[in-house]
Amino acid sequence: MKKNDDIILEITALSGQGVGIGRYNGMAVFVDQTAVGDTVKAHIIKVKSKYSVGKLLEVIYPSESRKEVDCPAFSKCGGCSFRHIKYENELEIKKQGVKDAMKRIGEIDIEPLEITPSPSILGYRNKAQYPIGMNENGIFYGFYAKHSHRVIGSECCLLQPPIFEKAMQAVKLWADQNKLTAYNEVSERGFLRHILLRYGEKTGELMVVVVINADTLPFADKLTEILKEKLNESLVSLQYNINKDDTNVILGEKTVLVYGKDYVTDEICSVKFKISAASFYQVNRSAAELLYKKAAAYIESDDKVIMDLFCGIGTIGLSILNMCGRENRTLIGVEIVPSAIENAKQNAIDGGFENTEFILGDATKAAEQLRDRSLTPDVVIVDPPRKGCDEKLLKIIADDFAPKKLIYISCDPATLARDSKILGEIGYKLQEYSPVDLFPATAHVECCALFVAQHSAI
């Protein structure tokens, strides 16, 4: 087999990113947008010593798990991996992927609990970050192509609520009327970089943040007027963020309020939360409630001190207190984003929560400070970013805090598996873990895992 060959291939497996895998003369061939059970014709575009990559030309015999693609941008956009696969099969794939990662990386041969499906598979996202492109017709918006920063135009994304389309149409109208340009990463010139939208599903509140390569937002009054006309009372916040750096990071350090307030409000697990532009908040609110309920189920009556080391705006800790009882319980949260920690403090006050403390700082450094205060939490909760937990942090938790249990909420099965192995070596045994689908149609999946101190009788 060589580059530019056309081959017939049966797809027998999927990668963790949802790419189909078949074997041709013993070599693994990866073909995107295929399903297990497909027989396809593929054009070989890359040949390596141990694998090849093919481009799908034709589905000769479709798999029973295949469905009709409902998005015109699917073949180009890098957002979704499973628009061509039935949801029940997508769930099976994700559960198996989590299990495989735990065994391959973590050397853990424990069957995961049944995967929890998302209550909604369309329009579930409450946050979007649209990159801006430009052509002969003015600016356009959409999402990046896979493994690139090439903007694929997409005016209607099925993962976003309909109000996002209205907001983006208003921004485009404003930009075209005022002849604004899109930022070009190569030349580092141009004005509009991204549009960040946040939506409070329970409240209907919408935030619009215009990310610009400049110091001020021109024609701000006109943008406010157009957005209010399109969105009516839903628009509660218009801000601009200054990002003039040559970077892949979307938001710069400075955000300026133009209209309304600098946050939106939403509700999760019967607790109201204020969410600022830079704060972390699960993008699928209704599925996140199911995830947090799983974590809350591990809290027992004698668990009095709860430490949340990646607390964000306080969603997990405050939700757990609300579900498990606030009386005689203490919550200590740690978060590195300043606006998020301020949100967390205010959310606790607004919700009438007592005995809460929220600390600004890196989780590992803050854990060292908390250790020096001789705190002894009954439960430690971690919800780290995709890179997982620092090994030093895990050792501080095990050696210095020594909680009865550790609840680990993960957005990446690979780093969960790695950290599960480390925790096992330092005295914390994985008791069970549950995949929860917060990201239908994409390759991502969350997990909630319970680790128990091996000396504990739990």
Catalytic (active-site) positions? 411
The answer to whether 236 touches 204, Cβ cutoff 8 Å, is: no
Give the pair of three-digit tokens for residue 37.
Answer: 């059970």
Residues 1, 7: contact at Cβ < 8 Å?
yes
Q: What is the dihedral of CA 51, 56, 59, 60, to 10 degrees?
A: -60
What letter would DSSP give residue 258?
E
Check: CB of residue 439 under 8 Å from CB of residue 284: yes
Contact 39, 56 (CB under 8 A): no
Residue 260's nearest CA partner among 241, 278, 233 is: 233
| DSSP code for 113 | P
Rounded to whole angstroms, how far apart are CA atoms 423 and 406? 10
How do beta strands 379-382 and 192-199 pair?
unpaired
List, in sequence order, every beta strand (DSSP E) within 116-253. 127-135, 138-144, 151-153, 192-199, 206-212, 235-242
Euclidean distance between CA atoms 15 and 406, whole angstroms: 30
Please tell me what DSSP assigns to residue 126. Answer: S
